[in-house]
Structure 1
Amino acid sequence: MKLYRYLTGPDDQAFCKRVSAALNKGWQLQGNPTLTFDPGKGRVICGQVITKEVDGEWSDEVVLSDH
């Protein structure tokens, strides 16, 4: 089955580490990252889609972060 996640967060080291950790667990980048500005908090918010092909069949019980 193919899994999909959309990671979001402030444009900081922690976000980059989350994406790096996912890549090192076999997730693949899908498309370009997105950026938006949160004027209330005065910071840039990033988004990145990641996908992963894994064994098994999809069900609502699948926990994406387990992969």
Structure 2
Amino acid sequence: MKLFRYFTGPDDARFCERVTAALNRGWELYGNPTLTYNEEQKRVICGQALVKEVEGVDYTPDIDLSQQ
């Protein structure tokens, strides 16, 4: 089964830590990161897609992707 996640958040160390933690759990970057500017909050928002291949498991909607 192939899993997909999309992280979003402010362009800060915490965002990088979240992506780094996922990479260290076997997730892989998928595509280029995205950036946008939130005018109301006056900050840059990042986005990064990640994918992970999990063998021997069938997908069900109740899978907690944050635990994979």
Q: Same fold (TM over 0.5)?
A: yes
Q: What aligned pairs does 1:15-26 form with structure 2 within 5 A after superposition?
A: 15-26=15-26
Q: What aligned pairs does 1:19-58 form with structure 2 within 5 A after superposition?
A: 19-55=19-55, 56-58=57-59
RMSD: 0.5
* Structure 1: distance between partners of 2:24 and 2:13: 16
* Structure 2: distance between partners of 1:66 and 1:53: 14
Identity of aligned residues (%): 57
Stretches of structure 1 lacking an aligned partner (at least 5 in a row): none
TM-score (norm 2): 0.96
Paired residues in the alignment total 67
The answer for the alignment partner of 1:59 in structure 2 is 60
